[in-house]
Amino acid sequence: MKSRKQSSKTTQNAEKNKRSLLFGLGFGIVFGFLLHKGGATKYDIIVAQLLLTDFTVLKIMLSAIVTGMIGVYFMKSMGWIELSLKSGSVGKNVIGALIFGVGFAVLGYCPGTIAGAIGNGYLDAIVGGLAGIILGTWIFAVVYPKIKDGILKKGAFGDITLPRLLKVNDWVVVLPASALIVLFLFWIEKAGL
Amino acid sequence: METIISVLTDTFWSPYAAGIGIGILSWLSFFVSGKPIATSTTFARAGGMIENLITGKAEQRPYFKKIKLNIEWQWMLVVGVVLGSFLSAILSGDFQVGVWVPSLWASAFGDSASLRVVVALAGGIILGFGARFGDGCTSGHGISGTLQLAVSSWVSVIFFFIGGVLTAHIIYFVIA
């Protein structure tokens, strides 16, 4: 403890930075492990979801959302954490998301699952997909100055949450939303999907 | 002991077990690192770093100034995803060797590796461009943003799936 107190601010920052990198790596390892165990590192399962013949991907996402939402909003109401929200616009979240969706179906992986597919050994993910995603994000960086004040801001609505939009207490949305998602999952299972 | 080991060596878990695990991971990520799980900015950083290696001028681009071209938390998270998936695949005997063409793709378009790689490259370009245009991907918007009930993320995930479902049907029922 004493030596830490004496150490300069820069080494403290370096230490903090190193810890942050290690935690990132650790969370990533668990995330990748779970994505593979869930089957989401496979083209066949991802595209079958988009063809609506296998609902594995949606089951993973929705159960992660319900679990995550309850815990994160609990920690928020205890004052332990702050939310980290992305501000939105029609240009970004409708047009950008549609472009993403087209790429999602053509590639058959998304940015997180392609990292998992690479770990799983799929060569189309390593040679084709990874190169493509890096190139695509780079093309965006090149055109960014031309669109940042135009289409990206079209229909901007800020970083609001559903409870703020509806002007209600967080739990007035969290609890019904959780119940609806769980009901939907039961319905999917009952339908044999 | 035996059951613990067999859980690790099973190729698949129930999707609900995987999903609940990811949900709990998101608590820890918020609590410990103060950040939601997300991945797609890392690919943009990688592109900028490659441009920097070639021309040394990538940092002059406003977008790279904004996202900062350094190896940070999320970059390590993406590296971790590769390692974690590799670990699970090796433990369960599911690591794929020499697989260029997914079987669903092969059933419609044949087993040409070069066709699949070209299409994957094109898909990746569209996906990467869309991920940064939409300011998030299936992790950042699809899981982390939706669980915070962000309006931007719920709108995004709905349009991810509209675009994805339509395109997948065109690929498999119109083109194939």
* pLDDT tens per residue, range A70-79: 999 999 999 9
Say if A126 is an interface residue toward chain B (CB within 8 Å): no
Q: Report the residue from B61, B73, B103 with minimal CB separation from A20.
A: B73
Q: Report the residue from B80, B101, B105 with minimal CB separation from A25.
A: B80
Say if A67 is an interface residue toward chain B (CB within 8 Å): yes
Contacts of A56 in chain B (CB under 8 A): 15
pTM higher than the cut 0.90: yes
ipTM of the complex: 0.96
Nearest CA of chain B to the CA of A186: how many Å?
A: 12
| CA dist., res. A176 & res. B158, Å (int) | 19
Helix spans in chain B (H):
2-9, 15-28, 40-54, 62-67, 73-91, 103-109, 113-133, 146-147, 151-169
Q: For residue A5, what pLDDT is reported?
A: 53
Mapping DSSP to helix (H, G, I), strand (E, B) and coil, where does residue A89 land? strand
Contacts of B53 in chain A (CB under 8 A): none
* pLDDT tens per residue, range A130-163: 999 999 999 999 999 999 999 999 999 999 999 9
Mean pLDDT for each consecutive 10-residue tract of chain B (176 residues)? 78 96 98 97 98 95 96 98 98 96 98 98 98 97 98 98 98 96
Task: Judge: A27–B120 Cβ closer than 8 Å, yes or no.
Answer: no
Taken in order A32, A37, A43, A45, the sign of the CA dihedral is negative
Per-residue pLDDT of chain A in tens (193 residues, 90 and over written 9): 445 555 577 888 888 899 999 999 999 999 999 999 999 999 999 999 999 999 999 999 999 999 999 999 999 999 999 999 999 999 999 999 999 999 999 999 999 999 999 999 999 999 999 999 999 999 999 999 999 999 999 999 999 999 999 999 999 999 999 999 999 999 999 999 8
Q: Which residues pair with A156 in a beta bridge?
A: A89
Q: So where are chain A's domains?
A: 1-36, 37-190
Q: For residue A1, what pLDDT is reported?
A: 46
Contacts of B46 in chain A (CB under 8 A): 134, 137
Each residue of A12-24: b (16+ CB within 10 Å) or e? eeeeeeeebbebb
Contacts of B92 in chain A (CB under 8 A): 37
Task: Judge: B47–A110 Cβ closer than 8 Å, yes or no.
Answer: no
